Amino acid sequence: MEVPRHWRLKQQRYALVGEVCPHCDSKIFPPRDVCPYCGEEAKTQYTMSGKGKVYSYTIMRDAPAGYEENIPYTVAVVALEEGPMVTAQLTDLGDKPVEIGMPVEMVTRRIRQDGDKHGMLVYGYKFRPAVRA
């Protein structure tokens, strides 16, 4: 059971809440309180727009424990409009093949259940092809 971890990370996972550096204005995700670009303290909350492009991707046919329900699924590195790179599942692909550079948008989805059917439901960000590209 990883209830405390899910609870601790919920804000960034539900809504891509990261940080903005007050010194160099870089947008930071996931939040880490120190700017990776200028090394200064950065604790100001900043919610990413959720818009981005597929930077790279792969298809998972043999899922790690807890993710078997969704196989096969696509995992992508998404370059957010604000700069940070995020690794996440793609969803709602429909008949469209995934392409590098494809515009995507963040949606909050059910990622998995913690343990078995008695466990809490874990929600978090995935990306889908932009509805209004």
Residue ranges that bind another protein, judged by CB under 8 A: 10-11, 14-15, 17, 47, 69-70, 89, 91-92, 94-95, 107-111, 120-121, 123, 126, 131-132
Burial 99-124 (b: 16+ CB within 10 A, else e): eeebebbbeebebbebeeeeeeebeb
Residue position matching structure tokens 């604790």: 43
Query: Shortest gap between Cβ of 131 and another protein (angstroms)?
Result: 5
Give dist(CA 14, CA 11) in Å, integer.
5
- 35: which 2 tokens? 């700017």
Q: Which CB sits closer to another protein, 43 or 128?
A: 128
Query: Shortest gap between Cβ of 79 and another protein (angstroms)?
Result: 22
Q: Which CB sits closer to another protein, 100 or 121?
A: 121
Q: Which CB sits closer to another protein, 77 or 107?
A: 107
Query: Shortest gap between Cβ of 16 and another protein (angstroms)?
Result: 10
- 62: which 2 tokens? 């043999």
Q: Which CB sits closer to another protein, 37 or 70?
A: 70
Q: In what order do the strands lie in the sheet with 44-47?
A: 27-28, 17-20, 44-47
Query: Shortest gap between Cβ of 38 and another protein (angstroms)?
Result: 27
